[in-house]
Amino acid sequence: MATWFLKSRSVLQCVKTRAGLHQIICNRSLKGASLHSKALQLEDDLDYSENEAWYFPGGAVPFTSKINFIADSSEERIHCYRVLDNSGHHMLSNTSKLISKELAVQLYSSMVTLQMMDTVFNEVQRQGRTSFYMTSHGEEAINIASAAALSNEDIILPQYREHGVLLWRGFSLQEFANQLFANKADKGKGRQMPMHYGSNKHNYITVSSPLGTQIPQAVGVAYSLKMEKKDACVVTYFGDGTTSEGDFHAGLNFAAVLEVPVIFFCRNNGWAISTPVTEQFRSDGIAVKGRAYGIPSIRVDGNDALAIYDAMQEARKIAIKEQKPILIEALTYRVGHHSTSDDSTKYRAREEIEQWKADRNPISRYRNWIEGNGWWNEEQESTLRGSVRKQLMNAIGVAEKAERPALTDLFADVYHDMPTNLQEQERSLTETIRKHPQDFPSGFAVASQI
C-alpha cells in the first residue's frame, strides 16, 4: 500500500505541475475543472489501497465481494416532520421556535380567506358566470405557511394550485376576480384562462399550463440570482403527478450541478386528477428522490402550518447561505376536485374525501392551536368571515360588470414592439368592427391605439 501511496502522490504531483491545475485540484467545487483532475481526487481518500477501491471519475468507490442489490425501498418510509399533533397541540418533543401572536393570527386569517375565496369563486363558476376554477381545499396550510416563511424578494414559480401564496403576498381579492372575469382591469390583459395569475410586482411568475416546465425555469431564475449575488432564493411548487415529467428530473439534476439557491416544493396531495400516487410512481414519495440527484430533502406534514413554516425557513437559510437546491415534500390531501371540469367522486370514495375534510383539516387543527393560546375566539371568527364574504361579493360584482379588455390587447405583447403586420391587422379589424358593429360583441374599447 505504501508503494501505491507514493506512486499516486507522484502522479498527482505530475498532473499538478504539467497542467498547472493545482488550484483546480484543491478546489473541488470549482466548475470547469477538467475531468482529469476530478478522477484523481486523492486528498481525502487516502485510506484505500488499490485493491480496496478504485478512483473512478467522480471519486473513490470501495469494492465489495458480496453481491447485493440495493432494495427498491427502505423498511421504513422517510419520517414526516410535524409540530402540531392531530388536535393542534404543540408537541412537546418539538423544539422549534414559536412564532409571534401577530404572525400566528395573520396566518390563520389568510388561510380562512383562501378557503372562503376558493369556495365562493368555485360557486361563481358553477353558476356559469366564469369558465373555470381550481380550489386549494385541504392545502391552505401549504399555501399560506410556505409563503409566510419567505421574503418578498424570493421569486415564486408556481404550478397552478398556489394562489394562496399570491394572496399572502398582497394580490387583492379584486385582482383575483378581475383575472377570473378577464376584464379590462385584469393585470393579465385578458390573455389567460382563469387561475393563470402572474404578477411581477409580487415576484410571482405567470402560471403556465404545461406541467413541470416551471422546474427547470426556476433553476434558471436561481442561476440569475446567483450571478447577482442576491440575498434571495427561488421557490417552485409542483404536485405529485408533475414529478413524472421529464422536466422534474432535468431540473433537479441540473440544479445540483449548477449549485443554485432554489427550493423545490412538492405538494404531494395523493391525486393527479384521477391518478392516485400508487399509479404515479413506486418510490417512497418524492422526498427519497432528492438523494438520487445529490439534493438534501425533507418530508413535512402538509396539514401542519407550523411544520411547513419551520421547514421552509430552514430550507431558505440553507439555499441562500450554501447556494444549493433543497427538496421539500409536503404530504397532504386534495380535498376538492381537480378543477371545475372534474367530479372526483367518480374515481374515489366519498368517505375518503369526507374523512380528510373533517378529521384532518389543516385550518381547524391550526385554529385549535391559536385558540388554545388565547389568541382567537368565536367572535373574531364571525367578524373575519363576515368581512371576507362582503369583500368577495363586492369584488365579484365589480369584476363582472367591468368593461372587457380593449382591442389593442389582442395584438400587443406578441413581441416587445408591435410589428407592422400586426399594426395593419389591428387597423383593419378596427375598421371592420366600425363598419359592421352588429357582427361583433360589445363592451370593450375599439379605437386603435396606434
Partner 1 sequence: MWGIVSRTAVNRGFSVSKSQFRCLVQGARNFSSKEMTVRDALNSALDEEMSADPKVFIMGEEVGEYQGAYKITKGLLDKYGPERVIDTPITEAGFTGIAVGAAYHSLKPVVEFMTFNFSMQAIDHIINSAAKSNYMSAGQISVPIVFRGPNGAAAGVGAQHSQCYAAWFGACPGLKVLAPYSSEDARGLLKAAIRDPDPVVFLENELLYGESFPVSAEALDSSFCLPIGKAKIEREGKDVTIVTFSKMVGFALKAAEILEKEGISAEIINLRSIRPLDRATINSSVRKTNRLVTVEEGFPQHGVGAEICASVVEESFEYLDAPVERIAGADVCMPYAANLERLAVPQIEDIVRAAKRICFRSTSMAATG
Active centre residues (catalytic): 123, 209, 338-339
* Interacting residue with partner 1 among 194, 216, 239, 270 (CB under 8 A): 216
Contact 359, 382 (CB under 8 A): no
Q: Is 441 in the site for partner 1 (CB under 8 A)?
A: no
Site for partner 1 in 142-161 (CB under 8 A): 155, 157
Q: Toward partner 1, which CB reaches closer, 246 or 397?
A: 246
**125: phi then psi, degrees, rounded to nearest 5:** -70, -45
Strands 297-301 and 275-276: unpaired
Q: Is 219 in the site for partner 1 (CB under 8 A)?
A: yes
Q: Is 11 in the site for partner 1 (CB under 8 A)?
A: no
- Sign of the C-alpha dihedral, residues 122, 180, 235, 96? negative
Site for partner 1 in 173-192 (CB under 8 A): 186-189, 191-192
Q: Could you tell me which stretch among 43-51, 81-89, 253-261, 343-351 binds partner 1 (CB under 8 A)?
A: 253-261
* Interacting residue with partner 1 among 134, 165, 185, 215 (CB under 8 A): 215
Contact 51, 36 (CB under 8 A): no
Q: What is the largest CA-CA distance in the chain?
A: 95
Q: How far apart are CA 233 and CA 313, in angstroms?
A: 11
Bridge partners (DSSP) listed for residue 444: 404
Number of Cβ within a 10 Å radius of residue 436:
9
Number of Cβ within a 10 Å radius of residue 384:
17
- Sign of the C-alpha dihedral, residues 48, 50, 53, 54? positive
Q: Is 198 in the site for partner 1 (CB under 8 A)?
A: yes
Size of the site for partner 1 (CB under 8 A): 51
Q: Could you tell me which stretch among 241-249, 265-273, 297-305, 394-402 binds partner 1 (CB under 8 A)?
A: 241-249
* Interacting residue with partner 1 among 414, 428, 432, 434 (CB under 8 A): 414
CB of 85 to partner 1, least distance (A): 39
CB of 398 to partner 1, least distance (A): 20
Q: How far apart are CA 87 and CA 356, in angstroms?
A: 14
Instruction: Supply 292's cell numbers.
Output: 438520487
Which residues of this protein are in contact with partner 1, per CB under 8 A? 30-32, 34, 155, 157, 186-189, 191-192, 196, 198-200, 205-206, 208-210, 213, 215-225, 227, 246-247, 249-251, 253-254, 257-258, 409, 412-416, 419, 421
